[in-house]
Amino acid sequence: MKKNFLPLLILLCGCSVAVFAQKSEQKTITVEVSNHWNQSKTDEPVVIQLNKLSTGFRIKSVTVMDGTTEIPSQLDDLNNDRQPDELAFVLNLPAKSKKRVTIHLSNAKSTKTYEPRVYAEMLVSDKRGKHVPVHSVTIPGTSNIYNQMHHHGPAMESELVAYRLYFDQKQTVDIYGKFNKGFEIKESQFYPTDEQLARGFGDDVLLVKGSCGVGALKGWDGTKATHIEPVSTLTERIIAYGPVRTISEIEVTDWAYQGKDLNMTTRYTLYAGHRDLRIDAFFEEPLGDEVFSTGVIDIPGSVSSSDHNGLIGCWGTNWPVNDTIKYAKETVGLATFIPQKYVKKEVKDKLNYLYTVGVKGAKSFHYYTTFTSMKETFGYKTPEAWFAFIRQWKEDLEHPAEVRMIK
């Protein structure tokens, strides 16, 4: 007598599929985003902390709706635990207005893409002159790979501007100015060719040398800004590539500074539609009396503007590189704004306009930096126009949108 095992096998396979099939889980929430300021806001960043949503499942995709219109958004894993920590998007908000946004959360992956409004890359150069993309690089503090990193560290851009972060003890923030709105770094990789320049590409517009450039975080020895050294390890990484924002970090361990060994991560966030960077400094342990500094380079012959309450700006003209034959002088406007609660004192050294910063008992602080280039067809053409803009920029930052959960 033959036994028919085929139906049993099919049944068992079916059970197996049922056991391992993932249950689709979803949750919908509504948030109210309010602009209490008397000015409109364009591309206002909105960030939702996902650990406050209590979904009961791992979020793998999100759809954000402004009425019947889907808004580009992104999920970001900020601590490399393979779990998203924040949802980010940008909104246009009229003055004194509110918007309700519907957010659909799901544990199912999504293949949809949005048109990117930011770009970021970090590249290592090999012996054959090729540039290999990397997400993160860590070196001993005694090593130097500044010249092995193409464009010397992470580069990031929005439609308006581009920045790079130096992979060395200076950790300088350097800038790339554009003639026209758009994206150039993927093609030019911060060093446009003659052919690209002829097509209207932008270029490096600032000679930073040993300064803080535009908003680089520095130490302070009582008379001048100091580099971030010595350290045990130095890491630079890109943790978010868009489409709404890009995030790069510089992490150091055991920075021997003012009698302590500090473990510090400096995070640089660039949003779609923005020319400014948000810069966050995080520390493993609460700070004591340590004092840091930041600001902008004092371009030779420049004029400056300060409100003496955390805002410092500069307007000046100089050669952007050491080659003064091939390249012309560039004119730029620079600015850094530190919230007043972090400011210790306004200071000046040989290279920089600065504020000193301290946050005793806290483990973090944040500030902002921005720039314009005379190249821009869409920018600012006089120091008066630039200084008026940065005063407005500070006021805008001091009136962030309020986000409230409705349900």
Contacts of 275 (CB under 8 A, 6+ apart): 158, 160, 161, 370, 371, 372
Contacts of 262 (CB under 8 A, 6+ apart): 252, 254, 255, 283, 284, 290
Question: First and final CA of the chain: distance in angstroms?
Answer: 64
The two tokens of residue 23 are 């249950």
Q: Considering only 9-13, 81-85, 244-248, 284-288, which range has the smallest mean pLDDT?
A: 9-13
Task: Give Cα separations from 339 to 40, 136, 218, 301, 344 (angstroms).
Answer: 21, 30, 17, 28, 11
CA distance 158 to 244: 9
The two tokens of residue 129 are 């002159």
pLDDT tier at 17 (50, 70, 90 boundaries)?
A: very low
DSSP code string of 187-250: HHTTS--HHHHHTT--EE----TTS-BBT--EEE-SSSEE-S-S-SEEEEEEEEE-SSEEEEEE
Average pLDDT, the chain: 93
pLDDT tens string 327-356? 889 999 999 999 999 999 999 999 999 999
What is the DSSP-derived secondary structure letter of residue 214? B
pLDDT tens string 68-122? 999 999 999 999 999 999 999 999 999 999 999 999 999 999 999 999 999 999 9
Report the pLDDT value the prediction gives residue 239, as an integer from 0 to 100.
97
Q: Are 226 and 232 in contact (CB under 8 A)?
A: no
